[in-house]
Structure 1
Amino acid sequence: MVTEQLGFDAINLRLEGWTAVHADSQRRQWMRDAEGDEFASTLLLTYQPEALEGIDLDDHVGVRKAVREIADGAGQIMVSVDVVGAAGVPALWYILKQNQAPSGMVYSGCLILPFTNSFFTLQLMCMETGITGIREAIVMDRFIASGVSIRELSESATRFEHGTAKGHYSPDAPEHDVQFPNHPLSKVRRYFRDILSVLSIKGVY
């Protein structure tokens, strides 16, 4: 419940393992410490002093459609969409992925916290570095070994990425994160769980 007009200082994050690299009236940015590549993981908090338009968290079909439009407009692929609890309030949590040059993917997790007259956005970006495609190759080999055909794998992955059905094959599925803890998608999910555990909002209880 909002008990006062929220401002940018309402968000409190007690982050460990992150270094603050920028702060102004509408944006804060952190870089992840102890990464092989100092730009591999970035966290960005932004504040908009206006109501969030076009997204109703009670309309799950509409939420999924809105996120898919965001992904399509940015040339990205939607990985997942959920409505979650964050610091005691409902929030939109989604993950997108995008090809990066010369190889690999960038995974972007976004948490949107809407209030009556403002909203906050937490965006976490993790880049795939080093040898790429290992997660996808190992998961595919596992399904092929179980007797699933290449055609079935292709059709299943396409349905999953287009959001029409969750096929039984998807290297992006969260159950694979344990086997690939250093994969950027696994990091996005793990870092956001850590962030949600320390996130608090003044004026909300």
Structure 2
Amino acid sequence: MPISFDISGFQTDATDSWIDPETGDRVIVQYFALVPDLPAPLEDLDTLRRRLCEVHASSGSLIEASVISVDGQPALLRVEKMPRHDQPSGLLFAASIVIPKDRCSIALMMFCEETGTTGIREAVTMELLGSGNFFTPHPYAPDVQGQLPYNRSDDMEWDNALPDHPLTRLRRLVARIAPTIRLDPEFAALPPFRAERRRLQHALRRWFGR
């Protein structure tokens, strides 16, 4: 795997997978030998954010997305939430750092699950803000309605007040790991991702079915 990073405090769970024994938080790395499946170029962040909102609307909701630098390479950082399908209630919060190249990519994914009493962050935030200010249109795509509605409880400003919430833990994990990522020089030297190649690939699949 052409990537390394600080995974101290986690235990190896499987090949390229680690788990925090105290919280159950998980980190997974995957290499994809395919043209990256990004809906827009990193250079067009507004379009990329909107299209990611549309993509994640069917499974939950995009919380935030930004372009960051990883070991000197441009990368997409996105944070999303989705229902836990293995439990009657609770959410799964996920972050991914995708380093895309012309014909391949690396994704470092982090997962933090809501367990025990669920909905505390939402309840506290709604009580403080009032229901009228709690649900607001998504800042990236105001007209998109996701399976999980966008709401103010996901804002970073609440993290300090709720340090043990899975979304807070997730952001803390990203902030800890991202600066430690190092890429193999051969991977870093590959040609950069171009959205045009992805569009060409989709066109070829439509015409030839592959």
**TM-score, normalised on structure 1?**
0.79
- The separation in 1 between residues aligned to 2:141 and 2:114, in whole angstroms, is 23
Q: Which runs of 5+ in 2 are unaligned?
A: 144-150, 190-210
1:65 shift after superposition: 2.8
What is the count of residue pairs matched by the alignment? 177
The residue type paired with residue 3 of structure 2 is: I
The percentage of aligned residue pairs carrying the same residue is 23
Please give the per-residue CA displacement for 1:13-68, whole angstroms capped at 9, x wherever unaligned: 23111111211xxxx11111322xxxx31111000123314431001122113312
The residue type paired with residue 89 of structure 1 is: Q
- The separation in 1 between residues aligned to 2:171 and 2:115, in whole angstroms, is 17
Structure 1: 4+ residue segments shifted above 2 A: 160-163
Match of 1:147 in 2: none
Please give the per-residue CA displacement for 1:137-167, whole angstroms capped at 9, x wherever unaligned: 11111123xxxxx3x225xx241387329xx
SS at 2:50's partner residue?
A: helix
**TM-score, normalised on structure 2?**
0.77
Match of 2:32 in 1: 48
Q: 2:43 aligns with which of 30, 49, 58?
A: 58
Say whether residues 1:194 and 2:176 are aligned partners.
Answer: yes
- The separation in 1 between residues aligned to 2:140 and 2:89, in whole angstroms, is 22
Match of 1:33 in 2: 21
Q: How does 1:112-123 map onto structure 2 within 5 Å?
A: 112-123=98-109
Indicate conservation of the 8 Å contact 1:77/1:96, yes or no. Answer: yes
Of Structure 1 and Structure 2, the greater strand share is in 1
Say whether residues 1:72 and 2:71 are aligned partners.
Answer: no
Match of 2:5 in 1: 13
Indicate conservation of the 8 Å contact 2:90/2:114, yes or no. Answer: yes
Indicate conservation of the 8 Å contact 1:77/1:161, yes or no. Answer: no
